[in-house]
Amino acid sequence: MLRAALIGFSSSGKTTLFQLMTSVREAPRGRSDVNIGISKVPDPRLDVLTAMYNPKKRVPATVEFTDMAAPAKSGAQSLVDVAGYKNADALVHVIRAFRDPAIAHPSGSVDPARDAQAMEDELILADLGVAERRLERIEKDLKKGRSAELEKERDLVQRCRQALEEGKPLRTLELSGEDIKRLRGFQFLSAKPLLLVINLDEADVPDVGASVERAAETTGLTAFLAHAATRAVALCATIELEISQLEGADATAFLTDLGLPESGLDRVIRASYDLLGYMSFFTVGEDECRAWSIARGTPAQLAAGEIHSDIQRGFIRAEVVAYDALTSRGSMAACRERGEVRLEGKEYIVQDGDIINFRFAT
């Protein structure tokens, strides 16, 4: 399962958004208190397939979100050794951009660009400590005897330390596949993909809520978002709370009045999914219509393993039809008649939206 950790300074709206996305209502109370909730990835394609097959079960792709107590103020290094952050595949930083004199900002003023950089600095400082400790250990081990693998790791960690000392997050480094594997065990925080959630003032939503670029420009975050593996979503927690209390048709009408294509919460969930380079393929039938999460570029045999290891081991062929073909024809039989159902081998790279039936033998 994909894992994303929410981070943010006090009064940013982080826990409110977590509760709205996951329906977990209890807030974390202390630094060691961790809340975990599951969010369903919105996908209209699964809705269409469910309507076609009327299955007993509808199972969307999911993202696991983690919420922890916020640092008291900007600049307070508090992320070191927090497992909930280190085990995450991506970080979601909720940044306060709303103006409310009744809710004091811990740093005395609302400044999204300052808060984004302050949190980035915390990630970098935490990683710098990890890198320095590892280099000390490597040097001790190398004194006992030469190791080509340890020397490669030393050179890589030295490169990471240099970037961190220059104030650069590790997600900006261009690393080879082998280097990425070597660093995986360190769980560097600044190496994780980062999603900024700009929590807007309600009054700003009609002007900038539907455009991340305009929201970033208005809040001074354009330069920060130029970093690699960094994206943003703009929303207003107050409005999201109102939407959550409305029926479907009323919620849609409310969003339309604001000029928003969908709720901000849906955009956060989908952006977290996309940020990690994931996509969905589908299995369909009378028993179940399900979206399965895989990384882009995954071959068919590995994709089969997401369903069951036996299917991966006994893989014979993947019976594949594109989503557009199936939904336009109306049935698998009609697609077969027109030659739109393909038999693919284990090296076939699964495409986003593929509907697949795996043939296998155990």
Bridge partners (DSSP) of residue 315 are 360
**What rounded mean pLDDT belongs to the chain?**
91
- 215-226 confidence digits (pLDDT tens): 999 999 999 999
Q: Which residues pair with 58 in a beta bridge?
A: 289
Predicted model pTM: 0.89
Main-chain phi, psi angles of 327, to 5 degrees: -70, -30
> What is the mean predicted confidence (pLDDT) over 35-42?
93
Closest CA to 289 of 342, 241, 256, 327: 327
For 193-215, write each residue's pLDDT tens digit: 999 999 999 989 888 877 889 99
pLDDT above 60: residue 104: yes
Which residue matches tokens 């560097």?
Answer: 188
Indicate the fold that domain 297-360 takes in CATH. Answer: Ubiquitin-like (UB roll) (3.10.20)
In single-letter form, the type of residue at position 176 comes to: S
DSSP 71: P
The CB-side HSE value for 61 (13 A sphere, CA atoms) comes to 30
Q: 288-295 and 57-59 as β-strands: parallel, antiparallel, unpaired?
A: parallel
What CATH class has 124-184?
mainly alpha
Q: Where do the CATH 3.40.50.300 domains begin and end in the chain? A: 2-43+60-109+192-275
**What's CA 262's distance to the chain center, in Å?**
18
Q: For 309-325, what is the mean pLDDT?
A: 97
Q: Can you name the residues that pair with 357 across neighbouring β-strands?
A: 319
Cα–Cα dist 309/140, whole Å: 41
CATH 3.10.20.30 occupies which residues in the chain? 297-360
Helices 237-244, 264-275: crossing angle, 10 deg rounding: 110
pLDDT level of residue 25 (50, 70, 90 thresholds): confident
Q: pLDDT tens, 85-103?
A: 888 999 999 999 999 988 9
pLDDT in tens, 253-264: 999 998 888 899
Model confidence at 76: pLDDT above 50: no
Overall CATH class of domain 2-43+60-109+192-275: alpha beta
Q: What does the pLDDT look like over 233-248, one tens digit per residue?
A: 999 999 998 998 899 8
| Residues 6 or more apart in contact with residue 174 via CB below 8 angstroms | none
- Residues forming CATH 1.10.150.300 domain(s) in the chain: 124-184
Burial of 202 (0-12, 13-18, 19+ CB in 10 A): middle
